[in-house]
């Protein structure tokens, strides 16, 4: 069967051959305008949609696509895919949970090192010819707290514990019985026993603003925050207030509430490091995530169970 896939993501151009080689016809729509135009012009041809969590797929869009049968999400998060609507339309939804965990974990440690060692500031001083030297804290031996111990959280914990001799504790919806890391019942308790708090939990209504003023207060003026999950998990007003008052030492952020729009107040702060939601982007991770999409599509259209279903 030659299925038609509407591709809403903007980062897989070098890997579309993985899908095309299996006979899928692709409609590329990587911008809001192209997306609206593609749905309007090709609604009666689209069998599948490839999207990302922040891009999602709305109930109205699903209702406009009479042939749609499956939604594939590139990456783990699917917070803006309307799952009740997908269920009502009898659709299958898949994601790429864990496929890019190594890339995200690498970027997380890179952000942490850049933040705590002030790599951006040191680089800028050399470029200006100032040769400014500042005393910065060591990363080794610190107490690490991770909110969300899924595939990404586990990859971060492994790097931190084995590479930087950190003690690791975590908060999950429930404790895991397959790890030796300490468990905390809530984010506030975790922050209170952490020097560094890393957010690696899925986005969505259940985790919205679970890191708020109370959690940041518990983290304290010597504590650092790294968010590579979703911007919605952290209360941005509370984080801005804590950073401006130096109620925490600093934050490194790869995700934001309204991407690509970043609050100007964040851009002016000296105690932050900002990257444009690129933690999961690497040639290796992107190739693997597209391969997972292909495997899910091929299984689905062959009448077989998909590999990574999202429970509706």
Domains of the chain: 4-99+282-301 (3.40.50.720), 101-274 (3.40.50.720)
CA 43 – CA 47 distance, rounded (Å): 9
* Cβ pair 1, 273 in contact under 8 A: no
Question: What pLDDT does residue 249 have?
Answer: 98
State whether the Cα torsion 61-63-64-68 is positive or negative.
positive
The pair of three-digit structure tokens given for residue 249, joined into one six-digit string = 């030492």
Question: What pLDDT does residue 39 have?
Answer: 97
Q: What 8-state DSSP symbol labels residue 57?
A: B
CA 229 – CA 90 distance, rounded (Å): 29
Whether the predicted pLDDT of 239 surpasses 80: yes
Q: If 0-12 CB within 10 Å is exposed, 13-18 middle and 19+ buried, where does residue 223 land?
A: buried
Q: What is the pLDDT of residues 274-308, one digit of tens each?
A: 999 999 999 999 999 999 999 999 999 999 999 99
Q: What is the pLDDT of residues 252-276, one digit of tens each?
A: 999 999 999 999 999 999 999 999 9
Whether the predicted pLDDT of 120 surpasses 90: yes
Rounded-to-10 torsion of CA 118, 121, 125, 131: -20
Rounded-to-10 torsion of CA 209, 116, 169, 289: 70
Kindly list the catalytic residues: 230, 259, 277
CA 242 – CA 215 distance, rounded (Å): 10
CA 296 – CA 312 distance, rounded (Å): 16
pLDDT band at 1 (very low <50, low <70, confident <90, very high): low
CA 105 – CA 174 distance, rounded (Å): 22
The mean pLDDT of the chain is 96
* Cβ pair 70, 300 in contact under 8 A: yes
Q: What is the pLDDT of residues 164-199, one digit of tens each?
A: 999 999 999 999 999 999 999 999 999 999 999 999
Question: What pLDDT does residue 11 have?
Answer: 84
Whether the predicted pLDDT of 112 surpasses 70: yes
- How many residues are given for the chain? 312
Question: What pLDDT does residue 70 have?
Answer: 98
CA 64 – CA 57 distance, rounded (Å): 11
Q: Where are the alpha helices (DSSP H) in the chain?
A: 17-20, 32-42, 59-64, 83-88, 101-116, 119-127, 151-158, 164, 187-192, 213-219, 236-244, 264-267, 283-301
């Amino acid at each position: 069967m030659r299925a038609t896939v509407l591709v809403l993501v903007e980062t897989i151009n070098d890997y579309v051959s993985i899908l095309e080689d299996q006979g899928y016809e692709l409609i590329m729509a990587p911008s809001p305008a192209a997306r609206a135009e593609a749905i309007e012009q090709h609604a009666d041809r689209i069998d599948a949609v490839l999207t990302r969590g922040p891009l999602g797929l709305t109930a109205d869009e699903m209702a406009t696509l009479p042939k749609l049968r499956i939604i594939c999400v590139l990456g783990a998060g699917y917070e803006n895919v309307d799952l009740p609507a997908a269920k009502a339309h009898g659709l299958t939804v898949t994601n790429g949970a864990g496929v890019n965990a190594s890339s995200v974990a690498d970027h997380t440690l890179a952000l942490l090192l850049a933040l705590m060692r002030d790599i951006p500031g040191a680089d800028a001083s050399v470029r200006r010819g100032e040769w400014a030297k500042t005393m910065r804290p060591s990363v080794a031996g610190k107490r690490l707290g991770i909110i969300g111990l899924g595939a990404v959280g586990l990859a971060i914990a492994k790097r931190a514990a084995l590479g930087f001799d950190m003690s690791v504790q975590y908060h999950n919806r429930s404790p895991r019985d397959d790890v030796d890391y300490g468990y905390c019942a809530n984010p506030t308790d975790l922050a209170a026993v952490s020097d560094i708090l890393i957010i690696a939990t899925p986005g969505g209504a259940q985790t919205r603003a679970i890191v708020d003023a109370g959690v940041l207060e518990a983290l304290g003026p010597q504590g650092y925050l790294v968010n590579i999950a979703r911007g919605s998990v952290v209360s941005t007003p509370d984080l801005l207030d804590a950073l401006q008052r130096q109620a925490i030492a600093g934050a490194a952020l790869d995700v934001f509430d309204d991407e690509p729009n970043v609050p100007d107040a964040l851009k002016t702060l000296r105690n932050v490091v900002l990257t444009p939601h690129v933690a999961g982007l690497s040639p290796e991770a992107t190739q693997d995530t597209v391969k997972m999409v292909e495997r899910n599509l091929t299984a689905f259209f062959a009448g077989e169970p998909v590999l990574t279903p999202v429970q509706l």
